[in-house]
Structure 1
Amino acid sequence: MSLVAMDVESDAFEVEPPSTITRTTSWASMPAEVRQLILGFVCLPKPWEQCNGLGFPKVARFASVCLEWQAFFEARLFRRLVLNPDSVDAFDAIVRRDGVRLRYIQKLWLRVDLSNYECPNCDRSEDLVTQRGNNMIFSTCIQTLLGTLQLWNPARHGAQGVELMLSASSPSDTKHRFNRCDMKDNYPFHYAEDLDLAGGIVDFHRTNKGGSIGLLHLNRFLPSSNKHINRFQGTPLCLQPQNGNLGRFTSQSKDLPAVPMIKGLVMRRQFPRDINVRTLSWLIGRSFVALEWFRFERTISLEPHVQLYFDRGMERRPIAMASVRQHLLPSLPKTLRQLSFTQWEIPANERRYVAKTLGTEISPHALAYLPQEMAKLSQRLEALCPPWQMDTASFLRSIVELNVSPMMVESSLKRLSLRCTLSTPERSRQEFETLIILAAKAALSLPQLKIIELWGICRAKEESCAYVFRYCYEDGRPRIVWRSSGAAMGARKRIIAEWSEVAQKQSHSALAYDVVPFGESSMKIFKSRGTCIYRHLLLKDLMFDPITQKILENEPYGWMLDEESDASQQGAPLDFLQNHQW
């Protein structure tokens, strides 16, 4: 069983129970603040503890001393939890024994461990028996957890709710062709606060050599059919029908309970296994009914037809394949205020021996509808980061068109992050400036806008370039900031004029502006695959999870790149990153 408290704590100090303390230093005679401070010392991590694991606490036994100690230690032990298939039943029993424990939970990670597989199955797609088994594991975990969390009562447990991180993978995924250290059990970085752990994420990745792919595995070369990647990505998980009380198969989707306790949902890029679109739509629409923010980081499917199923859906008898447009987006609850929906390429080192286009592109069908659908959705959100592959110009024009529609209510959008696709270094500046002007026209339709940030990267070795444009309205002061890796802004006068109109409409005050060049060279932008620009973005936390950002910044330096690296270079890049504090 693995019911894990994720706080890095230890019994570094010996604390006597109240019954053994002398009367002159009576525990009860101390002020409550002093008692809390003393108990806090028990939870301090050891100063020599490094990032070689999660450092799980051994303080649970102190919770049995008295009611005061129980409340103190359980509040810390339950603050961050990791649940897997072996522990969801135990968690349910613990909560049902004392429901107040739901009050303590702030972040919960449901880590669905799927079935193991051995060689040579690591180079084969999943068979039907494996798919059904994995679906059953997933279904049981989801149903049990939702059944526990539906016990939440805001009057008793507080209204703050919980952040749920949801992932699924097999323990065998990192034991064959792939060695992603960020998928393993001992990976200590799960949330932004973990980035301050001793040693740091860069040292951990350097020590664990994450991400490499084996050319030879058990004396076998990579399969020419790319089945090893299909196995790694796996088959999208579905809710599996089960035998009911009368011996009939029943659909679990109809029994999904409403769980308003879940306020935030995170699906991280490091786990490439998908959840079937229809299943995810059911979970969001029927269970996550009070969801306020959703961070959906998805890896693009290696097989184009699988990606097409995700983007478009396909009518197949006897099963109709669901799609993002028709099922996922409409299922988002009205309580949702923030959405980050990003689709990521399969890392270059993992595509080293496959066609360069595989695992890098979404379908033309999605490219056609995303701008309009994201524009409609943005009207009721406060913060949005749409897929990077989306046509930014079409999205901005859709915002303008919605403004003239008598059927649309006033937009509530406050923060917007947009990545701009740029064609060539020679044309990139003109393309970016055109989008900035178009963004000004769209901003006139967004009365509550506080920050809009456009950015783009164009890589071509010595001619690589990057741009960031930001409009901020804070403390009654409108300001634009232009950053680029080249010369100063060429169309400054027109851009300032367009955004001055936005400032006048929003605040009736003059527009301030700054032009700040990047310190990174063109070669540094190229070698980092543009990730060195991320730290300059004000809305980077809206774009991706902070842990995802750090992993992305490590990938180009820590692991073999496609066209520009060889085996002799693999030891140097992370040292380079460590010595250059960007």
Structure 2
Amino acid sequence: MAECWTNLPAEIRMMILRIVVEDYRFESDRYARAGYASVCREWQPVFEAMNFRRLNLDQGRIVDFEKVMGNEATRYRRGYLEYIFLNIKFDDYDCTVCQLKEDDETIMNNNAVFFRALWNLLFILSKWIGFVGSRRQYGLTLELGAYSPSDCKHTFIDFHLEEIYPFQPVNNTERLIDAYKRRFDRLGLDTLNDPYHGWVNGQREGLSLGSKQRIMGTLTMDDGLPELSIYPYTFPRVEIITDLRIRRQFYRKIAAKSLDNLLRETFTCLKWFCHEAWHDVDPQQQLCFEKDYTRLLLHGIPSTLRELSIFENFNKLLHPEHFKQLTYLEQYTKRANPSLSKTLSKSSRLLTRLSAAFLVDVVDFFASFQSTNNQIRT
């Protein structure tokens, strides 16, 4: 078999390897492809380029990340890297608390886990300066997310909260739809009857406020925690990150004040920022978030930023009050904050592309808009 392979022209062998790379299926075993890189030196660069293009980390893998990228023998792999997904994992919880808002101890522990994981990763990346690579002119993309494995096991049996969710880029929509259908059939969601968790004959009914608040905590970076005293309050400056993404896949969101600090102190070379968050189920917390977010838009946007995307999500399950006695148009415009809209209008003048949905309204945005801004294309 080895002789047959070596007898093929080098161009044909490379074509075959590329087909294997592109045709790889993540549903079977997302890590199985790593073994191909160890077959021989000819295969190593082909498969390593794909294996290290996008890395998915949690707090337990950050040390290994430094090992496979940090020393002199392995730092060449940095040239392959384009995308880092830091998906922070919190402790499990059971049915005794799944219908309750997180208590102070849980909130403090989650904040500590979030702080340590983010600081440790950023400290590693802060040392990635002065190296060259074919893609380094574009920098790296960093995505942030946080969840508990229990979030999808109680009231909210959401596929996108599961560890096996196909979060790798999926170009084939049919594959993703099939994955949802297989999970639906496996769990028997069409006949699920679990009133305690809000399921009655396959339908969600009567969700408690506590069950919603359990999965929608707000993460803060509090330097006052005793166990974090060994960390400096100021996060390290990371020049290699030029694209920051926080998606609505997860319900928990980063506090606007903490995000403001990151944008001003850490991501000093940021060019693209995509921020998706869920509308809070607690009106008072939502007001506090919008107040702090207004301050972020005024002072936290880096001067290097050129593209900004803001999206606030909501649905009938979490926010039924937004859909009562409202027209279709009112459902999607009533929540817009005029102050945020006007602030964004002033702070976005240097951007070349802006997308803002639901959190702001176009009428308020253009109320104070001056015609001197000719840079925005879309």
Q: Which of the five TM-score ranges fits, normalised by the shorter chain? A: 0.7 to 0.9
Q: Does 1:412 align with 2:378?
A: no
Partner of 1:76: 50
Deviation at 1:150, TM superposition (A): 2.1
User: Within 1, Cα distance between the matches of 2:36 and 2:176?
Assistant: 31
> Secondary structure of 2:254's partner?
coil
> Secondary structure of 1:82's partner?
strand
2:317 to 349, 363, 366: 349
Deviation at 1:136, TM superposition (A): 1.5
Q: Does 1:393 align with 2:363?
A: yes
User: Within 2, Cα distance between the matches of 1:265 and 1:362?
Assistant: 27
> Secondary structure of 1:87's partner?
helix
Deviation at 1:218, TM superposition (A): 6.6
Q: Which moved more, 1:326-335 or 1:282-291?
A: 326-335
Q: Does 1:335 align with 2:304?
A: yes
Structure 2 matches for 1:471-490, cutoff 5 A?
none
1:292 to 257, 261, 271: 271
Alpha carbons 2:297, 2:344 under 8 Å: kept: no
Partner of 1:202: 177
Q: Does 1:267 align with 2:246?
A: yes
Structure 2 matches for 1:305-316, cutoff 5 A?
305-312=284-291
Partner of 2:152: 174
Partner of 2:293: 324
Change in Cα spacing, 1:144 to 1:205, as seen in structure 2 (3 Å) is same
Post-superposition Cα deviations, 1:308-351, rounded to whole Å, max 9, x if no partner, equal 11011xxxxxxxxxx01223542121111111111111x21345
Deviation at 1:231, TM superposition (A): 0.5
Q: TM-score, normalised by structure 1?
A: 0.56
Q: Does 1:36 align with 2:11?
A: no
User: Within 2, Cα distance between the matches of 1:234 and 1:297?
Assistant: 15
> Secondary structure of 2:137's partner?
coil
Structure 2 matches for 1:453-464, cutoff 5 A?
none
User: Within 2, Cα distance between the matches of 1:44 and 1:327?
Assistant: 41
User: Within 2, Cα distance between the matches of 1:243 and 1:351?
Assistant: 37
Change in Cα spacing, 1:34 to 1:195, as seen in structure 2 (3 Å) is closer
Partner of 2:328: none
Alpha carbons 2:332, 2:358 under 8 Å: kept: no
Change in Cα spacing, 1:100 to 1:120, as seen in structure 2 (3 Å) is same
> Secondary structure of 1:125's partner?
coil
Alpha carbons 1:338, 1:383 under 8 Å: kept: yes
User: Which segments of 5 or more consecutive residues in structure 2 lack a partner in the other structure?
Assistant: 325-330
Post-superposition Cα deviations, 1:148-195, rounded to whole Å, max 9, x if no partner, equal 22232354233222222211111100100011112212221443xx13
Alpha carbons 1:259, 1:289 under 8 Å: kept: yes
> Secondary structure of 1:143's partner?
helix
Q: Which amino acid aligns with 1:231?
A: R
Change in Cα spacing, 1:42 to 1:195, as seen in structure 2 (3 Å) is closer
Change in Cα spacing, 1:411 to 1:78, as seen in structure 2 (3 Å) is same
1:227 to 199, 210, 214: 210
User: Which segments of 5 or more consecutive residues in structure 1 lack a partner in the other structure?
Assistant: 1-14, 313-322, 404-409, 416-582
Deviation at 1:241, TM superposition (A): 4.6
User: Within 1, Cα distance between the matches of 2:152 and 2:230?
Assistant: 35
> Secondary structure of 1:217's partner?
helix
Q: Which amino acid aligns with 1:152?
A: W
Partner of 1:464: none
Deviation at 1:71, TM superposition (A): 2.4
Post-superposition Cα deviations, 1:454-481, rounded to whole Å, max 9, x if no partner, equal xxxxxxxxxxxxxxxxxxxxxxxxxxxx
User: Within 2, Cα distance between the matches of 1:82 and 1:300?
Assistant: 26
Change in Cα spacing, 1:218 to 1:333, as seen in structure 2 (3 Å) is closer
Partner of 1:45: 23
> Secondary structure of 2:138's partner?
coil
User: Within 1, Cα distance between the matches of 2:197 and 2:285?
Assistant: 29
Change in Cα spacing, 1:125 to 1:223, as seen in structure 2 (3 Å) is farther
Post-superposition Cα deviations, 1:287-311, rounded to whole Å, max 9, x if no partner, equal 2111111111110000100001101
Structure 2 matches for 1:352-431, cutoff 5 A?
367-400=337-370, 403=372, 410-415=373-378
1:188 to 157, 160, 166: 166
> Secondary structure of 1:37's partner?
helix
Alpha carbons 1:241, 1:250 under 8 Å: kept: no
Change in Cα spacing, 1:342 to 1:369, as seen in structure 2 (3 Å) is same
Partner of 1:564: none
Partner of 1:511: none
Q: Which amino acid aligns with 2:277?
A: R
Q: Which moved more, 1:59-68 or 1:98-107?
A: 59-68
Q: Which amino acid aligns with 1:301?
A: D
Q: Which amino acid aligns with 1:229?
A: K
Alpha carbons 2:281, 2:318 under 8 Å: kept: no
Partner of 1:301: 280
User: Within 1, Cα distance between the matches of 2:347 and 2:198?
Assistant: 51
Alpha carbons 2:193, 2:199 under 8 Å: kept: no
Q: Does 1:125 align with 2:101?
A: yes
Q: CA RMSD in A?
A: 3.3
User: Within 2, Cα distance between the matches of 1:224 and 1:71?
Assistant: 51
1:95 to 69, 82, 86: 69
Q: TM-score, normalised by structure 2?
A: 0.83
Partner of 1:566: none
Post-superposition Cα deviations, 1:418-448, rounded to whole Å, max 9, x if no partner, equal xxxxxxxxxxxxxxxxxxxxxxxxxxxxxxx
Alpha carbons 2:110, 2:219 under 8 Å: kept: no
User: Within 2, Cα distance between the matches of 1:169 and 1:376?
Assistant: 34
Deviation at 1:81, TM superposition (A): 1.3
> Secondary structure of 2:276's partner?
strand
2:37 to 63, 71, 74: 63
Alpha carbons 1:374, 1:386 under 8 Å: kept: no
Deviation at 1:249, TM superposition (A): 2.6
Q: Which amino acid aligns with 2:218?
A: T
Partner of 1:473: none
Alpha carbons 1:241, 1:251 under 8 Å: kept: no
> Secondary structure of 2:299's partner?
helix
User: Within 2, Cα distance between the matches of 1:172 and 1:309?
Assistant: 27
Q: Which amino acid aligns with 2:183?
A: N
> Secondary structure of 1:295's partner?
strand
Partner of 2:60: 86
Higher relative contact order (CA 8 A, sep 6+): 2
Post-superposition Cα deviations, 1:260-284, rounded to whole Å, max 9, x if no partner, equal 2112111111211011111111122
Post-superposition Cα deviations, 1:371-401, rounded to whole Å, max 9, x if no partner, equal 321212231000111232433223223223x
User: Within 2, Cα distance between the matches of 1:386 and 1:355?
Assistant: 19
User: Within 2, Cα distance between the matches of 1:61 and 1:201?
Assistant: 25
Q: Does 1:110 align with 2:90?
A: no
Q: Percent same amino acid among aligned pairs? A: 27
Q: Which amino acid aligns with 1:288?
A: F
